[in-house]
Chains A and B, each alone.
Chain A
Amino acid sequence: MKKIKLSASGFFLIIVLLIYFILFITDKALFYSSMSFFGSILMRIIPIFLIVFVLMVLVNYFITPEFIIKHTREKKVKKWFFIIIGGILSSGPIYMWYPLLADLRQKGLSYGLIACFLYNRAIKLPMIPLIILYFGWKYVVVLTLIMIFVSVIQGILIDKIMEVKK
């Protein structure tokens, strides 16, 4: 018989559903008010999820590791610019990018640029509709600009730290 593999997030959902099951038996009022709260959040975010999905498809379509590698060969300031853009547009789990970054490091990409790339991965274009829903567009613009600025500062600091001999 084929074994069904349960992911960590699936396991987490089952645990939460079990808590709700116990709640249904022990405290129906709390169960119903929690479910109603759950429903209200879901109604708000489902349309946003559709936009997020479309944006994710577009990012997956246009941005590939080859695209990032190509633009890390640019000169000085241009290189920082493309690293920022590359970080913002890169998708997938962070650990997927570690081997590629290690490879780029061996090819001469500085630690500062790697740190800058990793910091800008925090800015997720497909997620912006959801952040706007909760925090507003002004917040998104200000936070994004500050994070891009801080990513460069962090990159410069990392280069200085990594320069210091052990």
Chain B
Amino acid sequence: MNKLYESILKAGRMFARVLPLIFGTILLVSLIVTLIPKSFYLRIFQNNVFLDSIIGSAIGSVSAGNPLVSYILGGELLKQGISLIAVTAFIVAWVTVGVVQLPAESIILGKKFAFARNILSFVSSIIVAITTVFILGVI
């Protein structure tokens, strides 16, 4: 019972920590989506498989925070006409590449490991995005 209470408390604390960020992000996304016309996104993301995935990965890599935010952001961007490849690369890089955590990772697990892992994760986010969308197109 005590363990269950602790688990609820831990999940509650995590939610309490993340909720302001989620509300803030949704408010910001709502404003941006209302303010910026779809044509603007379509100018940046031109349905070029490689360019879209690289841009998506680059933005995801420098972003940090709870993955919940990346899913909401990615889902809303998809509705604005941004390609699924760019959104997938963005989501995958958000959770696998940690530019913000890189100093901590380097100190604790070693510089060589941290850099190699993050570079590989950046490249693989592009590969994962392209492969996922290709397979979804086939099945």
B-binding residues in A (CB < 8 A): 7, 9-10, 12-13, 15-17, 19-20, 23, 30, 33-35, 37-38, 41-42, 45, 49, 52-53, 56-58, 60-61, 91-92, 94-95, 98-99, 101-102, 105, 111, 114-115, 118-119, 121-122, 124, 127, 130-131, 133-135, 138-139, 142-143, 146-147, 150, 153-154, 157-158, 161-162, 166
Give Cα A13–Cα B20 distance, bound, in whole angstroms: 6
Give Cα A118–Cα B102 distance, bound, in whole angstroms: 13
A146-B128 in contact (CB<8A): yes
Q: Which B-chain residue is minimally distant from A19 (CB atoms)?
A: B31
Q: How far is the CB of A155 from chain B (nearest CB, A)?
A: 10
B30 CB-CB contact with A under 8 Å: yes
B92-A122 in contact (CB<8A): yes
Q: List 6 A-B contacts (CB under 8 A).
A: A53-B15, A94-B98, A122-B67, A131-B71, A134-B78, A142-B139
Q: How far is the CB of A161 from chain B (nearest CB, A)?
A: 5
**Beta-carbon contacts under 8 Å, B91-139 to A:** 92, 95-96, 98, 101, 104-105, 108-109, 112-113, 116-117, 120-121, 124, 127-128, 131-132, 135-136, 139
Give Cα A10–Cα B23 distance, bound, in whole angstroms: 10
Q: How far is the CB of B34 from chain A (nearest CB, A)?
A: 5
A45-B7 in contact (CB<8A): no
Asked, given contacts A135-B75, A138-B136, whether A61 binds B20 with beta carbons under 8 Å apart, the answer is: no
Q: How far is the CB of A154 from chain B (nearest CB, A)?
A: 5
A111 contacts which chain B residues (CB < 8 A)? 109, 113
B21 CB-CB contact with A under 8 Å: yes
Give Cα A126–Cα B48 distance, bound, in whole angstroms: 32
B44 CB-CB contact with A under 8 Å: no
B42 CB-CB contact with A under 8 Å: no
Q: How far is the CB of B83 from chain A (nearest CB, A)?
A: 13
B62 CB-CB contact with A under 8 Å: no
B95-A121 in contact (CB<8A): yes
A9-B75 in contact (CB<8A): no
Q: Size band of the B side of the interface?
A: 35 or more
Asked, given contacts A146-B132, A154-B117, whether A9 binds B21 with beta carbons under 8 Å apart, the answer is: yes
A99-B108 in contact (CB<8A): yes
Taking A13-B21, A122-B96 as known contacts, 15 extra A-B pairs with beta carbons closer than 8 A to each other, sorted by chain A number, are A16-B27, A37-B34, A49-B15, A52-B68, A57-B8, A60-B6, A60-B11, A111-B109, A115-B120, A122-B67, A124-B67, A127-B67, A131-B71, A154-B124, A158-B113
B108-A102 in contact (CB<8A): yes
Query: Of A10, A60, A127, A146, which is within 8 A of B7 by CB?
Result: A60
Q: How far is the CB of B114 from chain A (nearest CB, A)?
A: 10
Query: Of A7, A20, A99, which is within 8 A of B17 by CB?
Result: A7
